[in-house]
Amino acid sequence: MSNVFWYIFVMAGVTYLIRVLPLTLVRREIKNTYIRSFLYYVPYVTLAVMIFPAILHSTASVWSALAGFVTAIIFSYRGASLVKVALLACVSVFAVELFLY
């Protein structure tokens, strides 16, 4: 059997264990506020860690990517809708790329 299949089997086993172990080991409700707050923010942090490098490497320049990122942060902090934030970030990236390059 090829090494690739062993890699796939090991990845499947690790993924399965990561999902099953918390269900089998933690039977009661978690009452510790520190652990609850930590678990509450895990999905947001994971999403940010996956998206931020893609933001910086998705354009021709890091500066246009930072301009789009800052624009998105400002408008999302002010409560704009997701579509509006995405469009304004794209427009700011386009403007920076158009005028700088």
Per-residue pLDDT of the chain (101 residues; tens, 9 = 90+): 678 999 999 999 999 998 888 888 888 888 889 988 988 998 889 988 998 898 888 888 899 999 999 999 999 999 999 999 999 999 999 999 998 87
Residue 21 burial class via C-beta count within 10 angstroms: exposed 0-12, middle 13-18, buried 19 and up: exposed
Q: Give the 3-state secondary structure of residue 32.
A: coil
Look up residue 44 and give its two tokens. 């947001």
Q: DSSP class of residue 83?
A: H
**Domain layout of the chain by residue ranges:** 3-100
**CA–CA distances in Å: residue 44 to residues 40, 47, 50, 52:** 8, 5, 10, 12
